[in-house]
Structure 1
């Protein structure tokens, strides 16, 4: 089957997911296919084309990690040396963390300090340095190296480390050492670079459908964690490098970045150096993806053993359903991998699992309604354009494992227990979120 056969499905699938516009890139065994559907904005109705820029969100972290590893290969940075040796001005709330946290901890989301933060320090070249100066305000939730919990703040610190060691603004280092050698000429960080080119805008979901959100959702200091704009065509150039190597890193280091470093938190199985690892049946996937304030969502999936890469760029929260659907179609219809089977629901007394679990500005609340379990992700934001997604029904599919009731093929959350067997935390979205006081403890 050809990737081009997806073309006839894409528009219908986007409408079903309430995604105004989508751009897809597929690379399979040397052949590349670009597909688009819909519009970049429901206000302008300008069609998405192959050159439309989208925010790729957290896939940007793989660029930050690669930039840091370039400096490791240059011999001016060490993966396992305390970063305070490179950033003597660094202040953290926990003095032990300040003296022990390393680049490897940052790139594997195991630094332990609060990860989901909002720090707007303007658009000057010092934005990242000014953001990191505030890191002594971040609580140390877990000891360094003990727990995986997805940490945007850790990648801001990694980006600042790149600046300090290289002597260049973060974006300039990425452009000269990564983007230019890989001929990624349609990838940008700054809004003034994006606004003069064809680009998608994010959409918030309203009762009557997607509506343009009049904000970007990220500040300049967020560049290492999620700030890159790119096209599906350029993302395939990134995929080609990740699958086959190139001018940026040695093959040894490139493969080290994709190799498992430690177990992760659901819905992620393992983490490499920034790369997230999951399995589709017996096939190893190396992936990332991004979510910019539920306004622009993306997928980036590699199946190295199949020589397959898929990137999906969307401009509404519906991309959280559309992206995986497209990836699964490619895995099954191009690579011939078997469809994942749904897991049967398991009857569990819900009492001890009810409550609110929080990490920074993100929380997941688990409630019971008419005998069914429901979950809702709650976003703490002052913007009216950034709204929490609607609640969804969940079911148990194993001991302490939850999945969406509409798709039980993969567990999406896992409850953690303390030394006394009591539920004290919940893994969701790659975060390890602690139970808030006042919940039902069984």
Structure 2
């Protein structure tokens, strides 16, 4: 699965070996209309139960079989504690489900001969740089859409968090050291894929958002779908984002993902997304018309990078171009998950051999509800019964992924040393700091305390609480307001800080800034 902030090229023999070893899927002939109807009835009951039990405040589901949308429905509420219901036309932020949508848009450009999957980024967008010359000169659209550029997975996410726009984030990726050799490792990168999409659109002379409308949303009649956040907030019928606070779902945080729109910034409805699923299952044919040539679209589903096994179902999983390609309990599937840690969960799963697809969008994080419902639906379709409580299995997986991280952050700074060493005078820490990646950071006084300001023009402000000597704490994550992060200073011979390390910006070892000026 792939998460928004918000898992390597295989030869044909490996591809065949996996297909031979994968479980035998039911043939398309066995998926009768009667079986579909029975499965949908039980899926609907499962969804209603999940919402009634508080699994999520609201969700919506779309199902496609053959070239027909056979189910679209909403469940629960757009915002917890308010009466407005989710329906098939409620607009959700779909997070990283944007990635396969964007891969389809690039496939349309490839189909028209505007760009190639193997076009070099240096030719499309000459200003873009990786940290090393050789990968920069060889990097292609295919590399970025399969997450094999060498960019670390979180590269740029931290800059987005502190307010930088897309152009500036992409420019600063040149300062990030690779996490693996070029094309040798898989590292899921929001801003890597974003650069791939933006570069692919360059030959048109139009912005990505306009190309997305022109090549996909308008031709499919996806009138409620956009890659602009401003369009999302114009909809009255839109879902809020939810996180759990003291065990209760609360709509506390909003998310503007425009900087990484191709990777995580699409908003849509299950009615609209079902039309996209029709196109993909139809190999580029929609309503009898070829909108994307099959050879351009087929490339997105070639397994290029190994992701290991599905953490719950155990199937072998690979990444193509914006798509997970999995050989699991029910044979070949294509899919992608999405999440915003501030309150969104989404999923699409397609069984291409059976021309069957399901898309699920939910307005909460963390939850395994989309995967749980999708797995249950697949069991009903292929086996006639649900094997296990898949919602619980996936809920437990998400809890194991994200709970310990928050607990560890709290434990690290659970209590200062006793006795804590006193801080130096405020003047020791106040001043301007800089590095090429983060840019300017200013520490100033506010009342009796210190404040750190980072981002363009000091866009983000963080209060600093003294912890021990030259270590301070701040609380940067809105969705985990009680999870601390350290800000440490190194004092020079003159008694003033010569450098500062901001832990929440140091994921790629670029969080240390040197004092400048005085």
* Residues 257, 272 of structure 1: 8 Å contact kept: yes
C-alpha deviation, 1:265, in angstroms: 4.3
* Residues 55, 369 of structure 2: 8 Å contact kept: no
Q: Does residue 63 of the first structure (1) align with residue 93 of the second (2)?
A: no
- In 2: Cα distance, 1:74 partner to 1:386 partner: 46
C-alpha deviation, 1:76, in angstroms: 3.4
Q: Secondary structure at the match of 2:160?
A: coil
Identify the residue that residue 26 of structure 1 maps to in structure 2.
Answer: 63
Distance 1:162 1:82, change over 3 A: closer
Identify the residue that residue 384 of structure 1 maps to in structure 2.
Answer: 478
Give the counterpart of 1:207 among 237, 240, 246: 246
5+ residue gaps in structure 1? 343-356, 367-379, 390-432, 435-442
Distance 1:138 1:248, change over 3 A: farther
Q: How does 1:65-144 map to 2 (within 5 A)?
A: 65-116=103-154, 117-120=157-160, 127-144=165-182
C-alpha deviation, 1:3, in angstroms: 0.8
Identify the residue that residue 82 of structure 2 maps to in structure 1.
Answer: 44
Identify the residue that residue 14 of structure 1 maps to in structure 2.
Answer: 51
* Residues 149, 264 of structure 1: 8 Å contact kept: no
Q: CA RMSD in A?
A: 3.2
- In 1: Cα distance, 2:405 partner to 2:253 partner: 25
Distance 1:28 1:213, change over 3 A: same
* Residues 269, 276 of structure 1: 8 Å contact kept: yes
Q: Secondary structure at the match of 1:297?
A: strand
Deviates more, 1:304-313 or 1:1-10: 1-10
Q: Does residue 303 of the first structure (1) align with residue 351 of the second (2)?
A: yes
Q: Secondary structure at the match of 2:250?
A: strand
Identify the residue that residue 377 of structure 1 maps to in structure 2.
Answer: none
Q: Does residue 330 of the first structure (1) align with residue 377 of the second (2)?
A: yes
Q: Secondary structure at the match of 1:162?
A: helix
Deviates more, 1:98-107 or 1:77-86: 77-86
Identify the residue that residue 269 of structure 1 maps to in structure 2.
Answer: 317
Distance 1:82 1:61, change over 3 A: same
- In 2: Cα distance, 1:261 partner to 1:140 partner: 19
* Residues 25, 35 of structure 1: 8 Å contact kept: yes
Identify the residue that residue 257 of structure 1 maps to in structure 2.
Answer: 300
Q: How does 1:337-416 map to 2 (within 5 A)?
A: 382-386=476-480
Q: How does 1:133-282 map to 2 (within 5 A)?
A: 133-197=171-235, 198-216=237-255, 218-244=256-282, 245-246=284-285, 247-267=290-310, 269-282=317-330
* Residues 24, 313 of structure 1: 8 Å contact kept: yes
Distance 1:170 1:94, change over 3 A: same
C-alpha deviation, 1:77, in angstroms: 2.2
* Residues 14, 20 of structure 1: 8 Å contact kept: yes
- In 2: Cα distance, 1:130 partner to 1:163 partner: 18
- In 1: Cα distance, 2:482 partner to 2:345 partner: 15
TM-score for the superposition, normalised by structure 1:
0.73
- In 1: Cα distance, 2:309 partner to 2:482 partner: 20
Higher helix share: 2
Distance 1:232 1:46, change over 3 A: same
* Residues 294, 386 of structure 1: 8 Å contact kept: no
Distance 1:114 1:364, change over 3 A: farther
Distance 1:266 1:138, change over 3 A: farther
Identify the residue that residue 92 of structure 2 maps to in structure 1.
Answer: 54
5+ residue gaps in structure 2? 1-37, 311-315, 390-400, 409-473, 484-506, 509-518
Rg (Cα) greater in structure: 2
Q: Secondary structure at the match of 2:219?
A: coil
Identify the residue that residue 420 of structure 2 maps to in structure 1.
Answer: none
- In 1: Cα distance, 2:169 partner to 2:39 partner: 47
- In 1: Cα distance, 2:46 partner to 2:203 partner: 47
Identify the residue that residue 340 of structure 2 maps to in structure 1.
Answer: 292
- In 1: Cα distance, 2:103 partner to 2:257 partner: 19
Q: Secondary structure at the match of 2:130?
A: coil
C-alpha deviation, 1:274, in angstroms: 1.3
TM-score for the superposition, normalised by structure 2:
0.63
